A and B are shown apart, each in its own frame.
Chain A
Amino acid sequence: MLILIAEDDELILRTVEHKLVKEGHEVVLTRNGREAIEKINELNLDLVVTDIMMPFASGIEILSAIKSIGKKIPVIVLSSMGQEEVVVDAFDLGASDFMVKPFSPNELILRIKRLINK
């Protein structure tokens, strides 16, 4: 499975990447929203994991971009405490699931598995 991770925190990005590679997935890393939107347009992704707050374009803009091009890609949103309203917006735009930071990478992997197997 080809999974895109959009996250500007290097430690989170690398940790999730290694976990996913260990699970046998192919991973594309992006450190800002604009780069993520470009990859979404270019590649045939199976799933996207995105942070809400990122440089250049937010997770919400990424969701809008996915919606506008008509691709049906499951998206898991990573948010921080106090971003409940943004998470509601994310679900309106088609997010499949969300996790609040601090989060457990193991739980994220389980949620990814669940979405992929759907």
Chain B
Amino acid sequence: MHHHIELHELILAIVIVLILVLLLIITVLGYSFYSYRILHNRQSWRQIIEYKIMETIVGGDENGDRDLEFAKYLKEPSFRALFLDVLVDSDRKFSGGAKQSINRLFHDFKLEDEAWRKLRHRKAYLVAGGVQELAAMNVEPAIPEITDKLNDPRTAVYQEAQYAIVSFKGYEGLGFLDHFDRPLSDWQQLRLLFSIHEIPELSELHVDTWLKSSNDSVVVFTLRLIRKFRLMTFYTEVFSLLDHPSTKVRVQAIRTLQAIENSGTIQQFMQNFDLQPIGVQIEILKAMKIAKSRESEYFLKDQLWNHNQVSIKISAAEVLVVLGEEQYLREISQREDTYDELTQIIKHALQEKKC
């Protein structure tokens, strides 16, 4: 049995569809307007907050009206959240008296409560934010709770806690490395390295323990630390890492040895060269390029002629150029018995020098 659609049913369906479309348009417009308001508020609030910070740093004239207006905005939770964000951001820009002024604002406006609330929240990004804010504003009573967060399973939380503890305690804050079994990202390593300004002589933390860590990223970080502070006393321990199973560790060990080199380093590089994979060999040649030691001249010529990898030949030729062996390279490139590939490699190396 067929049901014929009547005209009025069709009109009704069209009207319903039109109403739905209209509702959709109104919702989209409403949402866009709401987003615009939020964005607009944030922009104007940011200006007000930045002005307040600037005024505090410069020690400007008191302006009663503006202070009243500021106090009015502070009742708005999203304004307080933005204020805290901008304060933490500003804290990274200034030092000295200006930093202290920013810190004073944080305490005067009781933003500490906000940061504590975030620290105790369930959501990872809020906890990380709280850790960051309390550390930036140097709230020392937060250290025990932040220390607990070092074992948090969530990456954002434990990474922020590591950075915070190092900001509070400097080198002594690196104690977590003794038992850290998760990867320490390159970015995190750089953040930690930038936060450490000195290594106390009487520290109870032992760099050599971290060099023996089963966590490769901890070893790499320690090598970077040795490099940054030129810790010559760890030369032997670093050298022994040339036998490490990870190529990444070996590469970092070469860079570190180059940074803390002694009179025997180039000789040791040459002796160890054949035992290393290509990536490490290239790193050794880079170290020789920086060292510019004539000791390596015959070794480099040997690699240029006899190594079976083009990348090594190229690197060796480049170091020879740095050592001032251009004439030698030109001569062999013009010899009739020199094979084409070697001629091209030499031309490339000489061209690199010109560039």
Please report A residues at the B interface, Cβ cutoff 8 Å.
9-12, 14-15, 18-19, 22, 81-82, 101-107
B residues 53-70 with Cβ under 8 Å of A?
53-54, 57-58, 60
Interface pair B58/A18, CB less than 8 Å apart: yes
B93 within 8 A of A: yes
Interface pair A18/B94, CB less than 8 Å apart: no
Measured between alpha carbons, how far is A105 from B54 in the docked complex, in Å? 11
Interface pair A11/B90, CB less than 8 Å apart: yes
B98 within 8 A of A: yes
B residues 191-234 with Cβ under 8 Å of A?
194
Give per-residue flags for B72-107: 1 if the beta carbon is below 8 A from chain A beta carbons, else 0. 000000000000000000111111111100000000
Give per-residue flags for B265-300: 1 if the beta carbon is below 8 A from chain A beta carbons, else 0. 000000000000000000000000000000000000
- In the assembled complex, the CB of B137 is this many whole angstroms from the nearest CB of chain A, namely 14
Residue ID in chain A nearest B86 by CB atoms:
A11
A10: B residues at CB distance < 8 A = 50
- In the assembled complex, the CB of B2 is this many whole angstroms from the nearest CB of chain A, namely 69
Measured between alpha carbons, how far is A10 from B51 in the docked complex, in Å? 10
- In the assembled complex, the CB of B138 is this many whole angstroms from the nearest CB of chain A, namely 14
A104: B residues at CB distance < 8 A = 94-99
Interface pair B97/A11, CB less than 8 Å apart: no
A81: B residues at CB distance < 8 A = 194
24 contacts between A and B (CB under 8 A): A9-B93, A11-B50, A11-B54, A11-B90, A11-B93, A12-B93, A14-B51, A15-B53, A15-B58, A15-B94, A18-B54, A19-B58, A81-B194, A82-B194, A101-B92, A102-B91, A102-B93, A102-B94, A102-B99, A104-B98, A104-B99, A105-B96, A106-B96, A106-B97
Identify A18's interface contact among B60, B90, B91, B194, CB under 8 A.
B60
A102: B residues at CB distance < 8 A = 91-95, 99
Residue ID in chain A nearest B89 by CB atoms:
A11
Interface pair B95/A15, CB less than 8 Å apart: no
Interface pair B93/A22, CB less than 8 Å apart: no
A107: B residues at CB distance < 8 A = 96
Interface pair A103/B95, CB less than 8 Å apart: yes
